[in-house]
Amino acid sequence: MITDKILRSMEVIGADGVHVGMVDGVVDGRIRLAKQDGGQGRHKSHSHFIDLGLVAAIEGQKIRLAANADVAVTFEEEESGKLI
Residue 82 lies in a domain: no
Mean of pLDDT values over 25-31: 92
Total structural domains within the chain: 1
- Give me the domain span that covers residue 9: 2-75
- pLDDT-derived band at 45, boundaries 50, 70, 90: low
Q: Answer whether residue 47 is part of any domain.
A: yes
Stronger pLDDT, 74 or 31, i.e. the higher one: 31
Any residues with CB less than 8 A from the CB of 24 and at least 6 apart, and which?
A: 8, 32, 33, 34, 35, 47
- Residue 80 within a domain: no
Reported as a single tens digit per residue, the pLDDT across 55-84 is: 999 999 999 999 999 999 888 877 776 665
The CATH number covering residue 41 comes to 2.30.30.240
DSSP label at 47? -
Residue 11 within any structural domain of the chain: yes
Per-residue pLDDT at 63:
97
Q: Rounded to an integer, what distance in angstroms lies between the CA atom of residue 12 and that of residue 24?
A: 11
* pLDDT-based confidence at residue 42 (cuts at 50, 70, 90): very low
Full-model pTM:
0.84
